[in-house]
């Protein structure tokens, strides 16, 4: 086996005896049929060090090995850009995305994106890979972004994300004082009329549910923690505007830009199961400097003489 590729291994247990390897990988470890087809064609499924067919049946104690695709060409040009790495292993790269950076190149943002930065980082390490972010956050939202380093990791995390098994927490500052200590915003979201960017709450939109908890109240603002059950585009921004407490700095959704020129929103924590080990992972991103300065400004509004 090629040492440059990631090797996934599993030792069969008693309940696996007599099961086809295909069934074990499909139902126990949620490998996709598409990935298994690629592995089959590349002869990348092994038992006790020898190639095997997926239709063969396993025995307790056998070591099932998968040689995962890691070295793959990408059409995203790498760039030597700063990258703040929160966690990395052979399956995952988790970064703290800065404000103003797009997660993935688009026709409007061809360079200086997180994708360009990550590909450039891998190129400098001699690890050509496809760029596979598990999720996206808005250009002017800072914080945690998870990137899979191979197709298996991407598929495993996407499976968790689709089923709501990944916990997502954000910090945000909204206009006005929210009296309730916690609450749930349960408004469906769709496109705003005549806009390809802006969203709005509408009854026939996609289900969207945001939990919030008050962390601190200022004279004219509230510091909140958000927990997302769903991951709709602009979800927190739309929901905050919908309860008449838009995020500070969010000019698209009628937020006050006096103290901040971007939405006061930070992707603070993601919790999930590691795609290979199944162990719980909790990744946190520290507060960016502009939000620390915002706190100072909000505190100063409450000082004597203000």
Q: Which amino acids are annotated catalytic?
A: 138
SS (H, E, C) 5-71: CCEEEEECCHHHCCCEHHHHHHHHCCCCHHHHHHHHHCCCEEECCEECCCCCECCCCCEEEEECCCC
Tokens matching residue 222: 């509230």
Q: Strand pairing partners for 252? A: none
Residue 95: phi, psi to the nearest 5?
Answer: -125, 160
Task: From 230, 113, 243, select the one nearest 163 (Cα to Cα).
Answer: 230
Tokens matching residue 195: 């806009």
| 3-state class (DSSP) for residue 74 | coil
Contacts of 182 (CB under 8 A, 6+ apart): 211, 212, 213, 214
Residue 143 near residue 266 (C-beta atoms within 8 A): yes
Q: β-strands 132-133, 63-67: how paired?
A: unpaired
Give, in order, the Cα–Cα distances in Å from 113 to each of 34, 98, 128: 29, 10, 18
DSSP state of 286: P
If you search the block for the tokens 């206009």, which residue do you land on? 175
Between CA 74 and CA 64 the distance in angstroms is 29
């Amino acid at each position: 086996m090629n040492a440059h590729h990631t090797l996934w291994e599993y030792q069969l247990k008693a309940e696996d005896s007599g099961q086809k390897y295909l069934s074990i990988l499909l139902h126990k470890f949620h490998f996709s049929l598409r990935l298994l087809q690629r592995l089959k064609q590349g002869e990348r499924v092994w038992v006790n060090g020898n190639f095997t067919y997926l239709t063969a049946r396993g025995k307790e104690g056998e070591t099932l090995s998968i040689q995962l695709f890691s070295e793959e060409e990408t059409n995203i040009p790498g760039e030597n850009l700063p990258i703040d790495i929160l966690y990395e292993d052979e399956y995952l790269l988790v970064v703290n995305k800065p404000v103003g950076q797009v997660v993935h190149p688009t026709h409007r943002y061809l360079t200086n994106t997180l994708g360009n930065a990550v590909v450039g980082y891998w190129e400098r390490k001699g690890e050509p890979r496809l760029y596979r972010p598990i999720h996206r956050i808005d250009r002017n939202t800072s914080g945690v972004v998870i990137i899979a380093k191979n197709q298996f990791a991407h598929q495993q995390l996407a499976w968790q994300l689709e089923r709501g098994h990944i916990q997502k927490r954000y910090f945000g500052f909204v206009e006005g004082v929210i009296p309730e200590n916690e609450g749930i915003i349960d408004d469906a979201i769709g496109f705003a009329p005549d806009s390809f960017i802006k969203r709005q709450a509408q009854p026939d939109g996609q289900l969207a549910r945001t939990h919030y908890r008050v962390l601190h109240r200022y004279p004219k603002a509230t510091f909140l923690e958000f927990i997302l059950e769903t991951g709709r585009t602009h979800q927190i921004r739309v929901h905050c505007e919908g309860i008449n407490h838009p995020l500070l700095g969010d000019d698209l959704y009628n937020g006050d830009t006096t103290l901040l020129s971007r939405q006061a929103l930070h992707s603070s924590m993601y919790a999930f199961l590691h795609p290979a080990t199944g162990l719980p992972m909790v990744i946190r991103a520290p507060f960016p400097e502009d939000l620390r300065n915002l706190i100072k400004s909000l505190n100063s509004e409450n000082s004597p003489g203000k």
